[in-house]
Chain A
Amino acid sequence: NAGVTQTPKFQVLKTGQSMTLQCAQDMNHNSMYWYRQDPGMGLRLIYYSASEGTTDKGEVPNGYNVSRLNKREFSLRLESAAPSQTSVYFCASSEFGSTPLHFGNGTRLTVT
C-alpha cells in the first residue's frame, strides 16, 4: 500500500522556469491538498481539492496552479518559479475534510 506518492523528490529550477509536481494517492480519498513547509512557519496550505472536480485556494495560492486530474491525482504547477518558492512541498489526502491527513514524503524545491 503506497499511500501518497509525490514526484520528484528533489528539483532545482532557475528563476522563471516552470515545472509540475505530481501527487497520487491509492486510498480512494476524496480530498487532496498541497502544502508548503518553510522553517519556523509550519505548514501553509497552497490549494486543496475537496472532491474530484473541485479546487480551491488556500492560504498562499499566488504563483501556483493546480489540477485535480481524477480522484487519484492532484498536480501543482509553478508557471514561473521565483526564489521565494524555494521550499518543501507536501501533498496530502483525506477521506473527507474532517478526517486525518495522509502525507507524501515531500518534494524539496530550490529556485536559484
Chain B
Amino acid sequence: AQSVTQLDSQVPVFEEAPVELRCNYSSSVSVYLFWYVQYPNQGLQLLLKYLSGSTLVKGINGFEAEFNKSQTSFHLRKPSVHISDTAEYFCAVSEADSNYQLIWGAGTKLIIKP
C-alpha cells in the first residue's frame, strides 16, 4: 500500500449514537487490513483484521468493518458507542508482496460526548 488515509482526525459523537470511522488506502495488489485502538497512555491493540474471505469482519467491543475492494476502503463502525470507546483508532494496511510491512493512517480520535 502506498498510502492510508483516515479522513477525519477527530470524530465527536454522543454516547449511544452510531459511529463510522473512515479509512481509504491506495494499492493495486492484494492487501491485509487492520484496525488498532489506542487508549490514553497505552500501546495499540488489535481491534479487528481482514485477511481474506467475508468482507464484513467483526472485532472486539462491538466494532465491525467492511472491506470494499472497488472503493479501496475499510471503514470501521459501531452501532452504539459507550464512553469507554474514547480512544484513538488507527487503520493499517499491508500488501501481500511487501514483506508484510504495515502502512499506517494518521489516526482518528473518537470523542464521546455524554
Query: Contacts A42-B106, A42-B107: A103 and B45 contacting too (C-beta < 8 A)?
Result: yes
Give the total of B residues in contact with A, Cβ under 8 Å. 24
Interface mask (B3-16 → A, CB under 8 Å = 1, otherwise 0) = 01000010000000
Smallest CB-CB separation from A106: which chain B residue?
Answer: B43
- CB neighbours of A97 from chain B (8 A): 94, 99-101
| CB under 8 Å from chain B, chain A span 65-103 | 90, 92, 96-98, 100-103
Q: Is the pair A42, B100 in contact by a Cβ cutoff of 8 Å?
A: no
Q: Does B102 contact A (CB under 8 A)?
A: yes
Chain A: interface residue count, which band? Answer: 20 to 34
- CB neighbours of B107 from chain A (8 A): 40, 42
Among candidates B34, B41, B106, residue contacting A41 with C-beta atoms closer than 8 Å? B106
- CB neighbours of A102 from chain B (8 A): 45
Among candidates A4, A42, A50, A104, residue contacting B104 with C-beta atoms closer than 8 Å? A42
Q: Is the pair A40, B43 in contact by a Cβ cutoff of 8 Å?
A: no
Q: How far is the CA of A92 from the CA of B101 in the complex (A)?
A: 12
Q: Which of B9, B34, B49, B102 has the most CB of A within 10 A?
A: B102
- CB neighbours of A44 from chain B (8 A): 104
Among candidates B32, B45, B51, B90, residue contacting A43 with C-beta atoms closer than 8 Å? B90
Given contacts A42-B90, A98-B100, 4 further A-B contacts (CB under 8 A): A41-B106, A42-B105, A43-B44, A45-B102
Residues of A within 8 A of B (CB): 4, 40-45, 48, 50, 58, 90, 92, 96-98, 100-106
5 sampled A-B residue pairs with Cβ under 8 A: A40-B106, A98-B96, A101-B46, A105-B42, A105-B43
